[in-house]
Amino acid sequence: YDSRVIGLLAQPEGLVATAAQTLDYQFGFKVSETWFFRMLRERILQVLVFQFVLLIISTCVVFIEPGEQALLERFGKPVANNTILSPGAHLKLPWPVDKVYRYRTEQIQTLSVGFTPEKEEHEETLVLWTVAHSKEDNFLVANREQASTEADVAAAGTKKSPPVSLITVSIPVQFQITNLVDWVYNHENGEELLQQIATREVVRFLVSADINEIMSHERLESAQMLEKRIQEAANAQKLGARILFVGLQDLHPPVKVAGEYEKVVAAAQLRQATIIRAEGEAIRTNNLAGAKALSVTNLAEAARIKLELTASARAAAFTNQIPAFKAAPSVYVQRLYAQTFPRAVANARKYILVSTNTDHVITFDLQHNATDDFIRQQAEAINKPN
């Protein structure tokens, strides 16, 4: 078996001849006898030199993409007047004299504190405290409520535990490179240093914060304070980065005790709800009692005023009636009777009985018919013997 590859390796001095034979063997005709191959064989050195020169010249032009910045180094050192290359085309000395290192300075980058993101990311629609959703670390955090409880325990003479708790955090820190020279040349690995700074500030902050406050109403203020602390620490190290966001959206007790903590929180919320409900009931009953007392007082006051006015009116009427009675006693009595009788019988049912021995026909239309019981009673009265 005639192997062209083995022949090429065994006779390096006949490289061109071996290449020609290999081409002839592969294509089935005399490629080595064509004019192009003869010219290439005669000028192979010039072609290689031209390709090498063309390759070197191509390294003199560099294109920086939008959103990027690049550092230009000459013999391993920054170029004095042209260190940072902005987006666009730039000329430089050929490689390896000048080298370009690209960085995404406009991109918002994210690093994680307190947890290690999984390599296979999958979208979680629901995150529960009792289910581990990443490799998380536990941090010490203060607990003022436990401290007050421990004071009572110490007063009783029993052994007490330190007023701290464990908390699991998943804090994303978003940043942007603002000074590329400081980011690259002041430190060996700027991103790793920023990770360590953020972790240190988180640890320092948690040991002075209260677990119940940081997980509830002080979460936003805590995030802003952490962002400020990390930024100040980064500026002190001349890191050349700006902190854009620190998220405290995932703070919870460790998974092993999350269920018990939820029970404690539920009991506290139930206690608070009971207190609020009792306070509401107290307000309602107090207001009702006050309203009822005010109503009784107002009714009594109205009755008093009514009695006083009635008595005053009667006294005034009596004073005015005396002269009228003295002037005409009989007329006064008849007139008073005529005024009193209609009021006395205003709501009584009235029946008009007329005599039967008369020729007059009297018709009344009082819009009210006599009942059968009344007619029966009248008939019984007429038929009843004396």
CATH number assigned to the domain comprising residue 175:
3.30.479.30
Considering the domain architecture, whether residues 240 and 113 belong to the same structural domain is answered as yes
User: Could you tell me where the beta strands, DSSP code E, fall in 178-209?
Assistant: none
User: Does 168 fall in a domain?
Assistant: yes
Residues 151 and 232 in one domain: yes
Instruction: Give the model's pLDDT for residue 142.
Output: 72
Give the pLDDT band of residue 341 (cuts 50, 70, 90): confident
Lowest-confidence segment of 155-169, 269-283, 371-385 by average pLDDT:
371-385
Residue, of 212 and 189, whose pLDDT is higher: 189
pLDDT score of 233 more than 90: yes
Residues 6+ apart with CB under 8 A from 165: 140, 141, 142, 143, 146, 211, 253
E strands of the chain, at which residues?
61-64, 69-74, 77-78, 84-85, 88-91, 98-103, 109-113, 115-116, 135-136, 138-142, 164-177, 241-246, 250-252
Do 113 and 241 share a domain, yes or no? yes
231: pLDDT strictly greater than 90? yes
Q: Are residues 93 and 213 in the same domain?
A: no
Give the pLDDT of residue 285.
Answer: 93
- Is there a single domain that holds both residue 83 and residue 113? no
Q: Decide: 351 and 374 in contact? Cβ < 8 Å.
A: yes
**Does residue 53 lie within any of the structural domains?**
no
Q: What domain range is 101 assigned to? A: 62-107
Q: Does 74 share its domain with 173? A: no
pLDDT given at position 338: 81
- Of 253, 273, 304, the last residue of a domain is 253
Note whether 144 and 244 are same-domain residues.
yes
Distance CA 227, CA 194 (A): 12
Higher-confidence position of 146 and 46:
46
Last residue of a domain, one of 238, 253, 268: 253
Are 175 and 190 contained in the same domain?
Answer: yes
Whether residue 152 is found in the same domain as residue 247:
yes
Is there a domain that residue 175 lies in? yes
Q: How far apart are the first and last CA of the chain?
A: 164
Q: What is the DSSP letter of 59?
A: T
User: In this structure, is residue 162 part of a structural domain?
Assistant: yes
Task: Report whether 113 contacts 137 (CB < 8 A).
Answer: no
Q: Is residue 277 part of a domain?
A: no
Query: Which pair of structure tokens corresponds to residue 281?
Result: 């009931």
Statement: residue 302 has pLDDT above 90? yes
**Does residue 249 form part of some domain?**
yes
* Cα separation, 236 vs 188, whole angstroms: 16
**Do 141 and 200 share a domain, yes or no?**
yes
* CA dist., res. 328 & res. 332, Å (int): 6
75 and 99 Cβ atoms separated by less than 8 Å: no
Question: What is the pLDDT at residue 213?
Answer: 80
Q: Is residue 223 part of a domain?
A: yes
66 occurs within a structural domain: yes
Task: Give the predicted TM-score (pTM) of the model.
Answer: 0.56
Vertex 173 angle, CA 168 and 178, to 5°: 165
Among candidate residues 360, 124, 129, the one with its CA nearest the CA of residue 266 = 129
Do 232 and 184 fall within a single domain?
yes
Token pair 């290439």: residue? 40
- Give how far Cα 287 sits from Cα of 29, 277, 300, Å: 113, 15, 20
Query: Please, is 59 exposed, middle or buried when counting C-beta atoms within 10 Å of its C-beta (0-12, 13-18, 19+)?
Result: middle
As for how many domains the chain has, the answer is: 3
Looking at the structure, do residues 151 and 246 belong to the same domain, yes or no? yes
Over residues 76-92, mean pLDDT = 81
Work out the pLDDT band at 368, boundaries 50, 70, 90: low
Check whether 371 has a pLDDT greater than 90: no
